[in-house]
Amino acid sequence: MTAIVQNPIGETLTDNVAWAAFDKKGAKPRLSVLIPTFRDDPGALLKALDEPGVHAEIVLLDDGGGDEALARRMATRIERLKLPARLITLSSNEGRAKGRNRLARHARGRHLLFLDSDMLPDPIGFLARWTALAESDDTAVAFGGFTLDQTPRRPEHELHRAMALKSDCTPAPERARAPEKHVFTSNLLVRRDVFETIGFDEGFAGWGWEDVEWAMRVARLYPIAHIDNSATHLGLDTAPALAAKYEQSAANFARVVKSHFDVVSGYPSYRVAKALKPLPLRASWRPMLKSLALAEAAPTPLRAFAMRLYRAALYSDAV
């Protein structure tokens, strides 16, 4: 039977039987899998995570999506999971940083595994590998990487695919060269005491940079490991959606520059933005870069180059 609790702050909790059984025993899982979602159906991910014999729990956050039919489907899936599971449904959206901090407060495990709702584990025994790493080395922070191995190819996503393959889908040794730069909450293991010491900065709004900024603060105190225990990113964006995210992220980039200039000034995104800043008539040529990036008839490599320049041009206001 599902237990449903309504809290006065607009937070509804739905627990499955296994979650309640853990509470009665006074036991704690070794790993808490934390999944925020906003109008995305995490059904495939939940099914893939329900591995037998793994000492883990799942906490899912519906961050004010407002889709009642989807919320009912998520509650039903939570009920059917063998692993202990909780669904948190918010009455209004609170954003990426606040949502993940909220998820951590509900978790009971010593280690937290942040996963995005549009991810899908690549290797068999994905959770078992994370649990083993947490137990054997008591790892402070580790990123497992992500791929596009299981992502369907669609014409409208080719630009995002090309850009992700070039900059994001990288093996562990390459990521380890700049460990804080290649940290994303799409597949991130964090020990509880680390997260209680350093949570996500809730001053970030919209999309972008809150996970990398968090890693910059963490890296000053704890080692960040990079391993190959990847998950596929299924939720590629169309070119207009990707451009809109970059436009949202400009203010967040400015926040990172202000707080972590010593780190971010070495990033290519900063150096290109700095090079573009002196150029005159940005208001004229910046839209032209965007138009080229959105032109589906243009070659994908050229569109990707234009989109990267457009992002740097947006960021040039902050350098």
CA angle 117, 122, 125 (to 5 degrees): 100
pTM of the model: 0.89
What long-range pairs does 70-76 form, CB within 8 A, spacing at least 24? Answer: 70/39, 70/41, 73/41, 73/43, 74/37, 74/41, 74/42, 74/43, 75/2, 75/14
* Each residue's pLDDT tens digit, 119-159: 999 999 999 999 999 888 788 999 999 999 999 999 999 99
Residue 24 has what pLDDT? 66
User: Which tokens hold the place of 46?
Assistant: 């939940």
- pLDDT for the residue numbered 201: 86
Contact by Cβ (8 Å): 86, 78:
yes
Dihedral over Cα of 220, 226, 229, 233: its sign: positive
What's the pLDDT score for residue 282?
A: 83
Q: Decide if pLDDT at 286 tops 70.
A: yes
In the chain the domains, ranked by start, together with CATH numbers, are 3-236 (3.90.550.10), 237-319 (no CATH)
Give the whole-number percent of the chain exceeding pLDDT 70.
96
Mean pLDDT for the stretch of residues 42-53: 90
What is the pLDDT, as a whole number, of residue 261? 92
The SS3 assignment for 61 reads: strand
Strands 119-121 vs 231-233: parallel, antiparallel or unpaired: antiparallel
Mean pLDDT (the chain, rounded): 90
Per residue in 80-100, pLDDT (tens digit) is 999 999 999 998 888 878 888
Amino acid 87: pLDDT: 94
